[in-house]
Amino acid sequence: MTPEDFGWSREAFDNLTDFEKNELVQDWGIGLEVEAELTYNPVALRAAEVWDVAGGISDSFRFLTFPEIPDEASIETRIRMIRNALYEGILFRSRRAIVARFP
- pLDDT for 43: 73
Dmax over Cα atoms in the chain, in whole Å?
A: 53
Query: Do residue 75 and residue 46 come from a single domain?
Result: yes
Query: Do residue 9 and residue 54 come from a single domain?
Result: no
Query: Do residue 17 and residue 33 come from a single domain?
Result: yes
Query: Do residue 86 and residue 55 come from a single domain?
Result: yes
Do the strands 98-102 and 60-66 form a parallel or antiparallel pair, or are they unpaired?
unpaired
Range of the domain at 32: 1-40
Cα separations in angstroms, 74 against 40, 66, 84: 21, 17, 15
**Closest by Cα among 80, 52, 78 to 63:** 78
What angle is formed at CA 89 by the lines to CA 83 and CA 70, rounded to 5 degrees? 60
SS3 61: strand
Q: What is the pLDDT along the chain (103 residues), one digit of tens a residue?
A: 788 877 889 999 899 999 998 888 888 888 888 788 778 877 777 777 776 666 656 566 677 666 778 889 898 888 888 787 776 676 666 655 554 445 5
pTM summary value: 0.43
Query: Do residue 78 and residue 62 come from a single domain?
Result: yes
Domain count, the chain: 2
